[in-house]
Amino acid sequence: MEAKETRIALKSGALAYQKKMSNPLYFWFGMLIKLPSAIFWKFRIKTLDAEKCIVTIPYSWRTQNPFKSIYFAAMAGAAELSTGALCQLAIADLGKHSMLVVDFRAEYYKKANQKITFTCDQGQELLALLGTLQPNDTSKLMMVSTGKNPQGEAVAKFYVTWSFKRKA
């Protein structure tokens, strides 16, 4: 017997957040206030929905290290954004929550000397977890963001563990 997959749809607050983050001008302004390095490194959110978040980072003089590859901190920022934007989208309709990165780990496989696309596809898992939190409950989720080059080869994988607390 096959397991039935449950999909959770976005509600009005999450749809508004999704629309804002998909708007280049709003994204730029939001990052200017909250995360200015994202503007400098030219991150772009390509997809943000209930399933996944896709963020790109270009290979340019802004992101390059002395070894002619993308600086590891720039890739870490793009990977964190792909998980964090998904978290923000998930909590948009669930009342007040706090969230914090409590663990971070990375694996590097290939030289990142082209545009890299980071994908986190744990949206449904995240929505299901957050939907069960009661006021003052906390929970953690390790989210994985995989960075691939234009040829589809995995360049790096980042493991970002987020802690969530639902406020009363």
Q: What is the CATH number of the domain that holds 143?
A: 3.10.129.10
**What is the full per-residue pLDDT of the chain (168 aa) written as tens digits?**
444 444 455 567 778 888 888 888 888 888 889 889 998 999 999 999 989 999 999 999 999 999 999 999 999 999 999 999 999 998 888 888 899 999 999 999 999 999 999 999 999 999 889 988 888 889 999 999 999 999 999 999 999 999 999 988
In a domain, 127, yes or no: yes
Length of the chain: 168
In a domain, 144, yes or no: yes
In a domain, 1, yes or no: no
In a domain, 5, yes or no: no
What residues contact residue 123 under an 8 Å CB cut-off, 6+ apart? 49, 50, 51, 52, 53, 86, 89, 90
**Which ranges constitute the DSSP H helices of the chain?**
12-22, 24-34, 36-40, 72-91, 123-131
Domain count, the chain: 1
41 neighbors 63 (Cβ within 8 angstroms): yes
Domain coverage including residue 112: 12-166
In a domain, 87, yes or no: yes
pTM attached to this predicted model: 0.87
